[in-house]
Structure 1
Amino acid sequence: MVDCKVDKTEQKILDAALKLFSEKGYAGATTKIIAAKAGFTEMTLYTKFKTKQNLFDLVMIYGMKKLNEDASTILFVDKEFEDPLDFLETYVRNLEKFIWNNFEFFKLGFNQERKISEQFLMEGSYDFGKYIEKHLPNQKIDYMAFALSIFSFVYMYDLGKYQGRQDTSIDNILDKFIHNLSLSIQ
């Protein structure tokens, strides 16, 4: 088991590493660049983490830990919904917040080895699909495919935000998407 306590120096390096690994990939994010972005020397990075692979592994471990915490506090809310539209609207808006709060980690996972991306998508689609099925029972939809479609749309929406795209219609996109989703379950 990994010790979940990190000091301020380690946290700054982990944060810089997550950002750079997500932007440049494992090979492109050198330890020198990571250390500089964190405000430390490369020697400090190696003192704290020993190897680039150890640093990457810890970024993944801490990212998964945060993802799981956020899933239970942001995404999978345990409440009674007024109707299917109320559920869909709450779910999509919470999913957007969940993805946005973990965007660099998702981007890292999707930009790395194919194995990681497939694992993200399969596990996420299953968990999201089961949650949707619980709140929208007896629908004539494939819950995993429905969940994957919603996740993909929201991820692309957040990718646009992350890349700084400013579009006057972006404020209404989620509303229109939620409306279209509601049509698919009527």
Structure 2
Amino acid sequence: MVANTEEKILDAALKIFSKKGYGGARTRIIARESGFTEMTLFRKFESKENLFNQVLIKNQERLMRDFDSLVISDENEPPKKRFSSLIMILMNLMDEHFEYINLLIYEKDRIPNSITDPFILSISNYLDKIFPQPKIDHNLLSFMILSSLYFFIFNKKRENGIFYIENGVEEFIKYHVNCLQL
């Protein structure tokens, strides 16, 4: 029951922090959203800052676990196919974890690199396996990919997006495949 209470509070906190930011999120609203009292929230997490940090840690663990379970490298597949698969996996992950990704972007000054670096490093390492070319900065490529995919997902979440996501992702993949000479 304790873990279930904490999970409900963490999920509600993610939702509120993502919408309102750290400064705009109120613990009483988070408590109400979770179905518990503010006293229960503080008994479990002691402070708003600790709750925020636990939201970051737990969601980073979820994102990493999901990424690691989905990205399986088949050395026999051509690099183009592996790159395309990676992009689609990341696209789906970012869509599924959009509130968390949104929180990371809008609260970037409050979030330590130790939260975001492992995910970037995992993508970078995978990209290095796909095309181990020393001229490619795999960390930079990881940031470029994530930035673009965030824009695609953000556009998808809007009611009147400015373009079709499928076409955008397809063009994104084609462009990078050509640039990377896959």
Give the TM-score band, short-chain normalised. Answer: 0.7 to 0.9
2:174 maps to 179
Write the distance in 1 (CA, Å) between the matches of 2:2 and 2:72. 29
Deviation at 1:113, TM superposition (A): 4.4
1:84 maps to 79
Deviation at 1:94, TM superposition (A): 0.7
2:89 maps to 94
Deviation at 1:59, TM superposition (A): 1.1
Change in 2 beyond 3 A, CA 1:124/1:26: same
Write the distance in 2 (CA, Å) between the matches of 1:54 and 1:141. 38
Task: Read off the aligned partner of 1:40 and give its amino acid letter.
Answer: F
Asked if 1:170 corresponds to 2:151, the answer is: no
The count of aligned residue pairs is: 181
2:15 maps to 19
1:39 maps to 35
Structure 1 unaligned residues grouped into runs of 5+: none
Write the distance in 2 (CA, Å) between the matches of 1:133 and 1:161. 29
Write the distance in 2 (CA, Å) between the matches of 1:103 and 1:121. 14
Structure 2 unaligned residues grouped into runs of 5+: none
Alignment match of 2:46 (pick from 19, 44, 50):
50
| TM-score, normalised relative to structure 2 | 0.85
Deviation at 1:117, TM superposition (A): 6.7
Change in 2 beyond 3 A, CA 1:65/1:166: same
RMSD: 2.4
Contact 1:81/1:87, CA 8 A, preserved across alignment = no
Deviation at 1:29, TM superposition (A): 0.5
Change in 2 beyond 3 A, CA 1:89/1:14: same
Asked if 1:111 corresponds to 2:109, the answer is: no
Deviation at 1:120, TM superposition (A): 5.5
Write the distance in 1 (CA, Å) between the matches of 2:119 and 2:3. 31
Change in 2 beyond 3 A, CA 1:142/1:54: closer
